[in-house]
A = this chain, B = another copy of it.
Amino acid sequence: MKVCKFGGTSVATADQIRKVVDIVTSDIGRKIIVVSAPGKRFSDDIKVTDLLIKLGEKALANEDTEVELNEVVNRFHGIANDLGLSNDIVETIKHDLKDRLSRHKEDSLLFMDTMKAAGEDNNAKMIAAYFQFIGVDAKYINPREGGLLVNNRPERVRALPQGDEKLAKLRDEQGIIVFPGFFGYTEDGTLRTFNRGGSDITGSIIAAAIKADLYENFTDVDSVFAANPTVIDNPVSIETMTYREMRELAYAGFSVFHDEALIPAFRKSIPVRIKNTNNPYAPGTLIVKERDYNEQQVIGIAADSGFTAIYVDKYLMNLEIGFGRRLLQILEEEEISYEHTPSGIDNLSIILRSRVLTKEKEERIIERIHKELEPDAVIVEHDYSMIVLVGEGMQYTTGLAGRAASAIARTGANIEMINQGSSEVSLVFGVKVQDETKTLKELYKEFFVKSYAH
């Protein structure tokens, strides 16, 4: 049994939904499908979820919502029309949206969750209606009824394993199940959404709960590429990679598949395949627990900008038990998550995403470090990029670090930071943001262009 998730562009128009139906009906194993809200139909289009956010905000501000409500309804109306569905489904959707708008607004976050989830929820209803319309046995199942249980606020939203038993029963349902992605319900029936891209998470949770043979994630690219195709011309496709490799690549700029979505599949060892709705016969990229790393030691290279380094220097720092802990505690108290802490003998750099810092927080952190840790120097540098070389073969292959560092040197870029811990599948280089593109290009040549000789 397979769980198939279809992303926003795969369900943005009637034509796309017909492709989805073709894909699902072409394989009897494709039993449960998880759908996103209608995404962009063309590059300047607005996603339904974004329309819903606008609508919700208007409602929260007690302003008139007629225009915004109509925009959402019209998007569904257009698709339903093109699919040849009767007006019933449009009325159902309109009624559902009005009902959501009439809910309590005291807790604005929960209200917005309810509004945002309307895209997936109503799209699932509409797609189920279309399956039935063309004579396929299918039904919409709401996450509450299905068993997608999530934790209570204010904790970060995540699925609770207590829901798994109920979800597992989806196996026994007759026909095709159309399940909306992106949200679940707490024990007391409160709707909470996952992070954006959360339909990937829903699919993964269900695939894990029903112990699917495969979780197929349909999107709009043929596969995951070894490097960003907007920087590298025609990068090679990744045929097979491990969960860890996908995670490391996703972390550093690969946006094909949502980070968090891998966890449930990873925990139950459910293979994941990334496929293209518009080219369903392409093999796509398979994500599994283990692969033969001898074939391809380095599987991909990711690059991401927007990092800041806080460099702290204090003579004999490492004789002070607790120095590092106190430094990290300051960050924790300022609710800052960080990425790396490379260190020398008497110095420590904290690498973090610049977006987690405000000017005010940055100044307060620097002041606290000066006051509480009495360092010899604190230097903040913005505009770092991290280049991450990923591959299960890395820890078993000598010479990769040398090849990588030499490739970077050939570009004339200076390596600001190197980080490789024990038993790792990645090697992280920090460079100045202006050196990011040339570094990525040269590393790609070094590890993926067979004919490249230097």
Contact = CB atoms under 8 A, between A and B. Distances in A.
B344 A324 contact: no
- A311, A322, A407, A412: residue with the most chain B Cβ atoms closer than 10 Å: A322
Interface in A391-416: 395-396, 398-399, 401-409, 412-416
B418 A408 contact: no
Contacts of A421: 309, 311, 342-344, 347-349, 417
Interface string A307-323: 00101010110111110
B319 A337 contact: yes
Nearest to A252: B345
A329 interface: yes
Contact of A402 (B381, B405, B412, B423): B405
Contacts of A270: none
A338 interface: yes
Nearest to A408: B402
B318 A339 contact: yes
Nearest to A416: B422
Given A399-B409, A422-B311, A341 B344 contact: no
Interface residues of A, number: 77
Nearest to A263: B315
Contacts of A416: 422
Nearest to A158: B316
Contacts of A396: 414
A346 interface: yes
A325 to B, nearest CB: 4
A159 to B, nearest CB: 13
Interface stretch (A50-58, A217-225, A228-236, A426-434): A426-434
Contacts of A176: none
Contacts of A412: 398
A407 B402 CA distance: 8
Interface string A367-406: 0000000000001010010001000000110110111111
Contact of A430 (B346, B347, B422): B422
A97 B56 CA distance: 86
Interface string A69-97: 00000000000000000000000000000
A200 interface: no
A424 interface: yes
Contacts of A339: 318, 343
Given A421-B348, A427-B418, A340 B343 contact: yes
Given A419-B418, A421-B311, A248 B316 contact: no
Given A325-B328, A344-B426, A406-B402, A266 B315 contact: yes
A338 B384 CA distance: 27
A128 interface: no
A362 to B, nearest CB: 16
B247 A346 contact: yes
The 3 closest A-B pairs by CB, nearest first: A402-B406, A402-B405, A399-B409
Given A260-B319, A345-B388, 11 more contacts: A248-B346, A259-B316, A260-B316, A262-B315, A318-B339, A324-B338, A342-B421, A395-B414, A402-B402, A418-B419, A418-B427
6 contacts: A248-B345, A252-B345, A309-B421, A311-B423, A320-B337, A343-B421
